[in-house]
Amino acid sequence: MPRGKSVIFIKAKQDLIRRIRNGYCAPGARFISSRIVAREYAVSYATAQSILAEIESEGYLERRAKSGTYIPGAPPRYESVQLVFDPEAQAPGTLGGIVLRRLMLLLRKERVPLKLAWTDRWKGQAKNSFLVLWNVDNAILREVGVARGGGLLLDRFPLTASAASRFDSVTFDGFSVGLAAARMLRERANCSHVAILSNPYGRQMWAEQCVNGFRALWPRARLVRPLTWKPSAAPAAFEKLMAHPHDAVFCCHQDLAIELARHCAERRVAAPCIIAAGKIPAKPELKAPYIFASPDDMAAAAARIVRNRFLGDSSKTVHMALPPRAADSAIL
């Protein structure tokens, strides 16, 4: 073993070279940074830099000033863009459906060749295509990572630093949605007892972010969750909520706000001030202020990234968390 090089140094170097040889990243693609190497292999930043420098000296990598470390060779020339969406996006009014149709419209205006596949009929990546992924499972993500080295994730952030160096992403900033709702409530209503009607346990990370954002201004807001998303579970959650007096309720889904108002009307009790959040435009039945993450904004951001990648951009991956919009359906 060369003097001054630890076992972990040698192991990390060999592992990274093996990744490159196995097609971890396509030619011309940006490789993981020194910070990610340091985190993955539990070494210092200086050691990570030395590891990458040695790999570069052996011809496996090339460094570009003020840009990063890349796999040698020309970036792939894409012939088309393949959209891989969950079958739920076939329904026009769903978030996936709205994003898909808007994105296809924008890309067709740019004359970008498109192919559409559903995750339940996934047969692998089309040849020389750039992938756009919506609500795909981890098996597909692993297959994409091996075959091409990345793509664009919609409404999902890469789970690891390594994946974040290969996948672009466009997500919604749920924390800002909750924070915006809390600010609106504080500015426009005189409330002392506030509650949050949220998602079932373990469902929807975005809703959890909304809760955290709202509680940044209302830390003592009471949290109530339905057992499931099924409509039959809503009345029990509403009864639990109404067992204590509340001036206002923040609903992390507009359907919860609609059903809560209907529940109060049916029982002829005064409804609290209601403010709602969601990921699609407000439904006609919603009669409450609404903070929402715009599908049109997601489609527009995705179209810009896809167009640039399709034209050969191999620069650092892009990660966007889109801010919310406000739509007043009623006055608090």
Q: Is 5 exposed, middle or buried (0-12, 13-18, 19+ CB in 10 A)?
A: middle
Q: In 267-312, where does DSSP find H-type helix?
A: 295-310
More confident residue, 303 or 186: 303
Q: What is the pLDDT of residues 188-241, one digit of tens each?
A: 778 888 999 988 765 678 888 999 999 999 999 999 988 776 667 778 888 888
- The confidence band for 332, taking pLDDT boundaries of 50, 70 and 90, is very low
Average pLDDT over residues 249-267: 90
Q: What is the pLDDT of residues 182-202, one digit of tens each?
A: 999 888 778 888 999 988 765
Q: Are 22 and 145 in contact (CB under 8 A)?
A: no
Name the β-bridge partners of 68: 64
pLDDT of 330 reads 46
More confident residue, 23 or 77: 77
Q: In the chain, which residues fall in CATH 1.10.10.10?
A: 7-70
Which phi and psi (to 5°) does residue 34 adopt?
-60, -35
Q: Which residue has the tokens 């466009």?
A: 170
* pLDDT above 80 (res 67): no
Q: Identify the three-state secondary structure at position 5.
A: coil
Compute how many other C-beta atoms are within 10 angstroms of the C-beta atom of residue 159: 12
Q: In the chain, which residues fall in CATH 3.40.50.2300?
A: 80-172+296-323, 174-292
Average pLDDT over residues 153-165: 80
Structure tokens at 312: 């050969």
pLDDT of 189 reads 73
pLDDT of 105 reads 97
pLDDT of 104 reads 97
- For 4, 13, 136, 234, 330, the CA distances from 262, given in Å and listed in that order, are 71, 62, 35, 11, 15
Q: Which residue has the tokens 């692993």?
A: 142
pLDDT of 4 reads 59
Q: H-helix or E-strand containing 63?
A: strand 62-64
Of 141-145, 252-256, 309-313, the poorest mean pLDDT is in 141-145
Structure tokens at 103: 């994105």
11 Cβ contact list (under 8 Å, min separation 6): 41
Q: Are 213 and 184 in contact (CB under 8 A)?
A: no
Average pLDDT over the chain, rounded to an integer: 85
DSSP category for residue 30: B
More confident residue, 303 or 71: 303
Q: H-helix or E-strand containing 90?
A: none
Q: What is the pLDDT of residues 99-139, one digit of tens each?
A: 999 999 999 999 999 999 998 887 777 778 889 999 887 77
- The confidence band for 176, taking pLDDT boundaries of 50, 70 and 90, is very high
Q: List strands edge to edge, sheet with 222-224.
A: 222-224, 194-197, 248-251, 273-278, 290-292, 325-327
pLDDT of 76 reads 67
Q: Which fold has domain 174-292?
A: Rossmann fold (3.40.50)
Q: How far is Cα 320 from Cα 258, in angstroms, rounded to an integer?
A: 30
* pLDDT above 50 (res 315): yes
% pLDDT > 70, the chain = 89
Q: What's the CATH class of domain 80-172+296-323?
A: alpha beta
* pLDDT above 70 (res 316): yes
Q: What is the pLDDT of residues 321-331, one digit of tens each?
A: 998 887 654 44
Say whether domain 7-70 belongs to CATH 1.10.1060.10.
Answer: no
Q: How far is Cα 72 from Cα 75, in angstroms, rounded to an integer?
A: 9
